[in-house]
Amino acid sequence: MLPLLKNTQQWLAPYAYALVGFLILAVVVHFILRYLQNKNDFLWYRHAISWRWLSLSRKRILKTYPFYTHLTTSYKRQFEHRVARFIADKKFEHRSKLPITDEQKIVLACVAVQLTFGRRHYLLELLDTILLFDGPFESAANQQLHKGEYNPRARVLALSWPDVLQGHQITTDNYHLAIHEFTHVIHIESERVGHIDAMRYHKYHQHILAALTLPELRIKLEQSLFFRTYAFTNQYEFMAVLTEYFFESPVRFKEEFPQLFYYLKKALLYKDE
């Protein structure tokens, strides 16, 4: 029996060594790819398989979403898959316990997917629940009325639905509550999560902060009055407001502040599809 066991071990030894070698090689390749992706701002794969579908009623709502309508056929399929997965991954609740409509789920999921469409990681792992209100609500943090608020500790994003809808329907005023608040989620995620998309967002956020220290840019920002004053509240509000302008006034944004536009485009890995 012992000789048989010894022979078996000798027979298996090369395979065991090969397996260990393969695992070591896989780890090395992973870190090399991670480094190259972060350095050169690319994803060696962004989207694998689109296997989720929306129901016909939800698909009809999706087809009215402007960003979706301008995509190619293959990207539309990816977008639908991501919207369906986002809806399945999150809890949608109403503060007054009212039922959540398909329109509310689709619109909110579409905004989240639009913001993360250039990324591999799009489910926003630091967000579990989207809580809707019938209007501005009192914040537990400062007892003031808010239209939107993200609580990273509870992983809850609270939103005034009428204000979300207004931002969705009016696309030329650079006010888009859902884009603004989902950007806060992405921003905080970039500070706490280590995946490649978070690393890239953090890198370009640092580039933006560095650019803001340049006197000529600060003077131009003050003189142009392009961005609304609220953008200069803090770094989080600045990134959120920039993102609203990025999607609603891209041409003028790029013309007036090309460096900021470039950095934000890289942070989102956004492509003009």
How far, in Å, CA of 132 to CA of 135, rounded?
Answer: 9
- Alpha-helical segments (H) within the chain: 2-40, 56-62, 66-69, 73-89, 102-115, 161-169, 177-192, 196-211, 215-224, 235-248, 250-256, 258-268
DSSP, res 231? G
**Structural domain includes residue 181:** yes
Q: What's the chain's average pLDDT?
A: 89
Q: Is residue 49 part of a domain?
A: no
Q: In this structure, what token pair is assigned to residue 111?
A: 């905004």
Does residue 2 surpass a pLDDT of 80? no
Mean pLDDT throughout 34-55?
Answer: 71
Mean pLDDT of the region 225-254:
97
Has residue 23 got a pLDDT over 70? no
CATH number of the domain at 102, please: 1.10.472.150
**At residue 129, what are phi and psi to the nearest 5 degrees?**
-130, 140
- What local confidence, expressed as pLDDT, does residue 273 receive? 58
- Domain membership of residue 189 (yes or no) is yes
Determine the residue type at 160.
S
Taking only the tens place, the pLDDT of each residue in 180-207 is 999 999 999 999 999 999 999 999 999 9
Judge whether 171 lies within some domain: yes
Q: Is residue 183 part of a domain?
A: yes
Q: Residue 135 — φ and ψ, nearest 5°?
A: 175, -175
Query: Tokens 């939800």 label which residue?
Result: 58
Q: Token pair of 161, please? A: 């639905």
Mean pLDDT of 240-249: 98
What does the pLDDT read at residue 30? 45
Q: What is the pLDDT of residues 120-169, one digit of tens each?
A: 999 999 999 999 999 999 998 888 999 999 999 999 999 999 999 999 99
User: Is the residue at 229 inside a domain?
Assistant: yes
What is the pLDDT, as a whole number, of residue 39? 55
Average pLDDT over residues 50-57: 95
Tens of pLDDT, residue by residue over 72-98, are 999 999 999 999 999 999 999 999 999
> pLDDT (tens digit, 9 = 90+) per residue, 209-230?
999 999 999 999 989 999 999 9
Whether residue 16 is contained in a domain is answered as no
Counted domains in the chain: 1
Structural domain includes residue 26: no
Domain containing 70: what range?
Answer: 56-268
Please give the pLDDT value at position 76: 97
pTM above 0.85, yes or no: yes
